[in-house]
Amino acid sequence: EVQLVESGGGLVKPGSSLKLSCVASGFTFSSYGMHWIRQAPKKGLEWIALIYYDSSNKYYADSVKGRFTISRDNSKNTLYLEMNSLRSEDTAMYYCAKAGPHGDWFAYWGQGTLVTVSS
């Protein structure tokens, strides 16, 4: 059974940093790209980053480019999102989601981890 478990969220002050993790199980993690998607309170979904299976390519939404870094450790089956210079508008539930072959993307999501940026 595919499982994605996010962690690392919490309450932080504006300007600070935080690193989220997403531990994957139930599939060959090193074979698939991975996404981060977030959802601000009472708002819609926003895609923020994608990393290829071998870390060869990374893509970001403009809203986080230059502040957030997506990475992965295939030996640990873990996806990361390093977030710097956090702003109040980064307050959201952060989800990781699995890519798949031939456009079969987003079949699996984690339960999310909540990041609150507030003074």
Which spans of this chain sit near other proteins (rule: CB under 8 A)? 35, 37, 44-47, 50, 59-62, 95, 102-107, 109-112
Would you say 37 or 92 has its CB closer to other proteins?
Answer: 37
Give, as one character, the DSSP assignment of residue 56: S
Would you say 35 or 72 has its CB closer to other proteins?
Answer: 35
Cβ of residue 50: shortest distance to other proteins, in angstroms? 7
CA distance 87 to 36: 18
Cβ of residue 55: shortest distance to other proteins, in angstroms? 17
Cβ of residue 21: shortest distance to other proteins, in angstroms? 17
Strands 34-39 and 92-98: antiparallel
Q: Are 18 and 10 in contact (CB under 8 A)?
A: yes
The number of beta carbons lying within 10 Å of the beta carbon of residue 30 is 13
Would you say 13 or 43 has its CB closer to other proteins?
Answer: 43
Cβ of residue 14: shortest distance to other proteins, in angstroms? 24
Strand order in the sheet with 68-73: 3-7, 18-25, 78-83, 68-73
Would you say 18 or 96 has its CB closer to other proteins?
Answer: 96
